[in-house]
Each structure stands twice: as C-alpha cells, then as structure tokens.
C-alpha cells in the first residue's frame, strides 16, 4: 500500500533528522526534515524541528517561517505555547542583530514582535534601552516596568537604570535618583548608575 509506504517514509526522515540534530549535524538534519515535509506537508512536528535547526544555524528568519507554520497546523495548547516561546526568542535575536547593525526602527519592530509572542524579559530590556536612546521616555519606562514584571533571567539593575535615564530625561530628578540608587546595587550597572547620580547632585 502506497499510503503506508509514504507514512513510513516521512517518519523515517523525521527520526533521522532528530538523530542528526542531536549530534549537531545541522545541515544533514535540515535536509532530512525538508525531505520529511516533502512527503507530508501537514506534519507540524517537521516544521517545528526544522525551525529549531534554522534557529541553531542562526537563520532566525527561516526559523520564524517554520515556527509560524506549526501554529497554523496545530491547536494543541502545549505545542502552541512552546512554539510561541521559540518565536519570541527568534524575533529577539533578529532585534539584537538590528541593534548591532544600527537600525533602531527595525530592532524595535522585531523586539515588539518578540514580546507579542512571549513576555520575554531580555526583549523588554532591549526595548527600554532603545527607547531611552531615542528619548522616548514613557515607552522606555513601560518597557523597563515590563522587564521587571516578567523578569526570569535578567538582573534588576538594567530596568532601574533605564527608568533612571528616562525620569532624568523627563526632568523628574527625584524619581531618577531613586531609580539610579536601585540600579547601583547591580554590579553590571553600578558604575554607570553612580556616574548618573553625580550628574544629578
């Protein structure tokens, strides 16, 4: 039966791809997952795995394209949640690439996409920094507050530091001092926060 042969084939390519991915043989894994999807275009597991390979290869745009296909093909809540987290990480990576390239507008677009899919603390922190650099004080404060609210990996110093800069920019010296004093307890932001405090005294 041809249908059974095809069923076996796409799963065989998928399993081969999984094994290749585990051994970090990413190019071969990519090829195996692509073969799998040629045989079964509606297999969300194949798109998810292919998205993961592209992410590991640093091709975040292709990772996003594949993760989005997963969202269209399944309504399983646990899969959707994991894929949205992966989409958030991929958009954050694209945002950080744009920061490196000096393209603030595109970086903000990608980072906002990141936090749409998942409340990612590091993406909020990057947004806080970008908005403060663009003198968009209220947006920087909101992004900083969200970074603190959804904090899982970042330290508290960054959000407090960017809130300090934003309150300084808005002319609220007392609030700026309060934020810089909180920021200076974080070793990463200690010197810059202390410097900002000397400017305000």
| Mean pLDDT for the stretch of residues 170-188 | 97
Per-residue pLDDT tens digits for 80-137? 999 999 999 999 999 999 999 999 999 999 999 999 999 999 999 999 999 999 999 9
| Mean pLDDT for the stretch of residues 21-48 | 95
Residue 9 pLDDT grade (very low, low, confident, very high; cuts 50, 70, 90): confident
The answer to whether residue 90 sits within a structural domain is yes
The answer to whether residue 111 sits within a structural domain is no
List alpha helices for the chain, DSSP H.
Answer: 2-22, 26-39, 44-57, 60-73, 77-100, 104-117, 121-133, 137-149, 157-169, 173-183, 190-200
The answer to whether residue 112 sits within a structural domain is no
Per-residue pLDDT tens digits for 127-137? 999 999 999 99
4 and 82 part of one domain? yes
125 and 190 part of one domain? yes
- The predicted pLDDT at position 155 comes to 96
133 close to 104: Cβ distance less than 8 angstroms:
yes
Name, in order, each residue with C-beta under 8 angstroms of 179's C-beta and a sequence gap of 6 or more. 160, 161, 163, 164, 167
User: Does 9 or 168 have the greater pLDDT score?
Assistant: 168
The answer to whether residue 21 sits within a structural domain is yes
Residue 42 pLDDT grade (very low, low, confident, very high; cuts 50, 70, 90): very high
76 DSSP assignment:
-
76 and 25 part of one domain? yes
* Residue after which a domain boundary falls, among 106, 135, 165: 106
157 and 71 part of one domain? no
Residue 1 pLDDT grade (very low, low, confident, very high; cuts 50, 70, 90): very low
21: tokens are 């991915």
pLDDT greater than 60 at residue 5: no
State the total domains in the chain: 2
- The predicted pLDDT at position 89 comes to 97
124 and 68 part of one domain? no
90 and 136 part of one domain? no
- The predicted pLDDT at position 3 comes to 52
- The predicted pLDDT at position 201 comes to 82
Cα 172 to Cα 59: distance, rounded to the nearest angstrom: 43
Per-residue pLDDT tens digits for 13-32? 999 999 999 999 999 999 99
pTM over 0.85: yes
The CATH number assigned to the domain holding 132 equals: 1.25.40.10
20 and 86 part of one domain? yes
pLDDT greater than 50 at residue 54: yes
97 and 162 part of one domain? no
94 and 73 part of one domain? yes
| Mean pLDDT for the stretch of residues 149-164 | 97
The pair phi, psi for residue 155, each rounded to 5°, is -85, 170
* Residue after which a domain boundary falls, among 106, 136, 153: 106
Structural domain range at position 127: 119-201
* Residue after which a domain boundary falls, among 57, 81, 106: 106
The answer to whether residue 13 sits within a structural domain is yes
pLDDT greater than 90 at residue 187: yes
């Amino acid at each position: 039966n041809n249908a059974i042969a095809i069923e076996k084939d796409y799963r065989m390519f998928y399993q081969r791809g999984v094994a290749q991915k585990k051994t970090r043989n990413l190019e071969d894994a990519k090829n195996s997952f692509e073969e799998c999807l040629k045989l079964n275009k509606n297999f969300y597991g194949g798109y998810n795995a292919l998205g993961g390979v592209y992410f590991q290869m640093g091709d975040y745009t292709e990772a996003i394209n594949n993760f989005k296909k997963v969202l269209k093909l399944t309504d399983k809540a646990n899969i959707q949640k994991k894929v949205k987290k992966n989409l958030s990480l991929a958009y954050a990576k694209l945002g950080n690439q744009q920061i490196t390239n000096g393209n603030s507008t595109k970086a903000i677009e990608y980072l906002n996409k990141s936090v749409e899919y998942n409340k990612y603390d590091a993406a909020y922190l990057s947004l806080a920094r970008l908005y403060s650099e663009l003198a968009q004080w209220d947006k920087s404060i909101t992004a900083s507050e969200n970074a603190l609210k959804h904090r899982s990996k970042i330290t508290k110093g960054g959000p407090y530091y960017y809130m300090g800069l934003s309150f300084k920019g808005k002319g609220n010296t007392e609030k700026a001092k309060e934020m810089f004093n909180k920021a200076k307890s974080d070793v990463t932001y200690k010197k810059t926060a202390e410097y900002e405090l000397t400017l305000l005294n």
